[in-house]
Chain A
Amino acid sequence: MTTVIAAIDDSPTAGSVLRLARTWAALLEAGLRGVHVSEGDDPGAQRAADDVGVPLEICHGDPAQAILDLAADPEVELLVLGSRRGPGGRDPAGHIAVSVLERAGVPVLVVPPEVGPVRPRVRNVVVPLEGSAPTTACMGPLLHRLHDAGVRLVALHAFAEQDVPRFRDHEGHAEESLATAFASRWCPGIPAEVRLRVGPATDATVDVADVEDADAIALGWSQDLSPGHASLVRTALSSESRPVLLVPLGT
């Protein structure tokens, strides 16, 4: 049996992090550990754990490092943590979350401060795909796990303006035909419906997540949030009100 770790602070998001972690643990048929790295007087974390009914383990030390140490256990399948948003969007998830995200060896579900009420079940996950073999390879196993657990997966590809297909034969079949081709090329064997859009991936992700009533957005990434990298991840972290599931390339 694998484990899901919910790492909470004493912010108001802590309750949502625990509830989501419980939902995802049930989905993955995994055990759940609630963890708080104490930095002094922070009763909010324990209160949240009591409210949700998850036993809380208290650790000490550097929060990011402590969480990474816990997540290094090979049994850990998923890490769930809350994000904070700095002023001006310079820091898309808070420095502790970013530090964990850039170094974690497991998928991390990031819960934003504005997350809505937690649903009892994960139904729809939108998966933006850039159309590259490494992304598909890194996302594949987790996506299969989600599909097998009954989650509806919607893969999304947004063509940049300069990459818009140059031919579009018949309006009644063109989208399905491109989607079939995209699925065959970039997500073979991944049981996802495919949606195609034109324009910035950020806009398309918001649009499709709304239309598909997504419970989460899943993104493969190379764990580099420095300027010029991972713009979709950065935007999702800084502006999404849905949980964002970040899957490191190479896991």
Chain B
Amino acid sequence: MPSQRRGGSLSAGADPFEAPDLWTVRIGGQPHAAALAALANGQLGVVGDVGPDGVRATFVAGAYGTGPDGMVRPLPGPTWTGVGGHGTSWQLDMRAGTLRRRNEQGRTDLERFVSIVRPTVGVLLAAGADGDAWPSPLAAPEVPRAMAADHAWTMTAETDGTFVGTVHGARDAIVAMARQRVDRTQLERVVAMDHGPDAEPEVRRALEEALELGGSALLEEHREAWARRWADADIEIAGDPRAQLAVRFALFHLLSCARTDGQSAVGARGLTGLAYAGHVFWDTDVFVLPTLAATLPDAARSVLEYRLRRLPAARARARDGGGAGARFPWESADTGEDVTPRFGRDLDGALVPITTGELSAHINADVAWAADHYVAWTGDETFVAQGGRELIVETATDWAQRVRVGADGRAHLDDVTGPDEYHERVDDDAYTNLMARWHLTRAADLTVDGDGEPGADAFRELAGALVDGRRPDGHHEEFAGFDELDDVDLGSIGPLPVAADVVLGRERTAGTKVLKQPDVLMAHHLLGDLLPHASLLADLDAELPRISHGSSLSPAICAAVLARAGRADDALALFHLAGRLDLDDLTGSTSAGLHLATMGGVWQAVVFGFAGIRPGAEELQLDPRLPSGWRSLRIQLRFRGQVVRVHIDHEHVSVATAAPVPVRLAGELVQAPFCRRMHEEAKT
């Protein structure tokens, strides 16, 4: 049947395949093609169906089931992308937010997208030959083995041609409706999908509205919406096309991962794959959220709303821990209960007990940091008033029951695991303690005395008592006893990055100073100027040579920190590593989903790192450190409701805004808009 379609073409205009640019990703033949073709809109995700391998999946945000092993995982959605034939190549058009197929005659004969205007709607437009028999618009879900026991699929066809499919699981149900029109050689397929017991009327309404509008208009409004999204978010790097494509790819998926209304459960791989079971980690709060807060604030709000709605579950966890406040779980899915697996398997086949669920206490500070960071970008005081304050204060309250006051009179956090998971069950992890100190201080600022919370003074006292591992030479010790561990030359383990725990073994690695990812440097990255700049340089010297980058979260953050320390050229190799992580499948796991946190890190390396942009108390901070190979860097973002366009080259910095915005440029307060020759007076 594919051969019947060879003549078809979707449009008579210029073929976009003929002019690929730094807005497009070519897909064809890569082993991880299915994930490179991923499209999402925060509600629906669709991957695959770009080759003969049969890999295809639909994800519905927030819809979870339970696997036979008891693990909570995404409930598989029905597939809707099948048309027959595979074409010879595909292209992800990031500007338009669509995926296109080229047929054997070199014509575009298929285009599909999930609408960012109508989050429950997906559209597929295809061209074939007269008399083509197209498959039905909905098909049974591709059920991964891990979910085999938990789903029941039914589908009916109504008289008007609407197909209604449902996936019933033990925890939830997905309702999908689809209808297609064939006009001689053209196919127009519209699908709507949502989950929950009451989804059907809304899904039907969304389908009818979309059908009324029609495929071309749906495509047009989707393209226009993407154009608006890019106008406030794009980053342009002159002089480094690889970096340019990587940054766009990262931004494209970050801008696709959350809805702009309601709540968004953003898993570690977003809606692009099964890996990490759709669970929500600190990845979302610390790595993904900053980009959204600075470019698509409504989406950031919806990510925070996910946490806010699980505050009652976090309170229950804190109560179970014997105290007041709220304690977010390390891994979270639909209910907000802890869904961290209790065991994993190493590459020797041995079962490994997983302790992060119990010990990664820093998640509370991460969630609070994200909430605070969102407010810093947006100035959204309604969020603070509508639960944001409680979220920050109640999660801070939980630290009180975790600390131990030692014989030294100082407060300690024992038996935790920091971001560096090569060393579990450590005392006074620097990242955890530094973040807890920031968290307690921030909570003190937000505390209204006399409403049952510990009170500002108690928060400040605890913050002041917490040890931070700072040593006389200025560096922070990663955790108590770290400086006495074996010093191993990273080069002897293998070229970086290297999964040191796999090469050396877990036990041996734990006895060395080899780190999986930045720990102290992660605190520097998030807290910025709240930690002394001198300690940044000392910590960079002490920690960076020990980081194996065994975590995909690591390279981008190290690049950002290096840039802040004035070593932008040194940062570039790590930046490229992060940028190419999924494009080149450097982890061997991209097929199981894109690494959203790495993508967030890529954005942060550019904005926090090379541009030195941070939201300040009242002003936007800007302190560029451009790599010598980049001719210029242009960044679009939003600060306190204003669109801000920053242009940086090796001689000038300019900030364009529609209304005055205070900017602290390399420490000096300047009013934007301005164009300034570096080391000269501002020219407004």
Contacts and interface: CB of A to CB of B under 8 A. Distances in A.
A175 interface: yes
Contacts of B274: 180
B293 interface: no
B275 A172 contact: no
Interface in A213-248: none
Interface string B544-559: 0000011111000000
Nearest to A168: B499
B553 A169 contact: yes
A177 B588 CA distance: 9
B587 A170 contact: no
Contact of B352 (A161, A164, A171): A171
Interface string A183-194: 011101101010
Interface stretch (A20-28, A41-49, A195-203): A195-203
Contact of A178 (B146, B343, B588): B588
Contacts of B581: 167
B276 interface: yes
A188 B550 contact: no
B81 to A, nearest CB: 15
A107 B164 CA distance: 44
Nearest to A198: B347
A166 B421 contact: no
A164 B503 contact: yes
Nearest to B347: A198
B129 interface: no
Given A171-B346, A196-B347, A181 B591 contact: yes
A180 to B, nearest CB: 4
A197 B350 CA distance: 10
A208 B344 contact: no
B317 interface: no
B592 interface: yes
Q: Looking at chain B, what size class is its interface with the partner chain? A: 35 or more
B590 interface: yes
Contacts of B683: none
B450 interface: no
Contact of B588 (A173, A181, A189): A181
A135 B281 CA distance: 37
B356 A166 contact: no
Contact of B341 (A173, A186, A207): A173
A171 B344 contact: yes
B53 interface: yes
B347 A211 contact: no
B502 A168 contact: yes
A164 to B, nearest CB: 5
B589 interface: yes
A177 B354 contact: no
A173 B54 contact: no
B552 A173 contact: no
Given A167-B549, A185-B591, A172 B354 contact: yes
B43 interface: no
Contact of B349 (A164, A182, A195): A195
B288 to A, nearest CB: 15
Nearest to A186: B31
A172 B344 CA distance: 4
Contacts of B343: 172
B586 A175 contact: no
Q: Which of A171, A173, A184 has the most C-beta atoms of chain B within 10 angstroms of its own C-beta?
A: A184
Given A165-B499, A165-B587, 9 more contacts: A164-B503, A166-B550, A167-B497, A176-B344, A181-B591, A189-B54, A191-B145, A195-B349, A211-B349
21 contacts: A167-B587, A167-B589, A168-B502, A168-B551, A169-B587, A170-B421, A171-B354, A171-B421, A172-B331, A176-B345, A177-B276, A180-B592, A181-B589, A182-B588, A182-B591, A185-B31, A185-B32, A188-B54, A193-B145, A195-B349, A197-B347
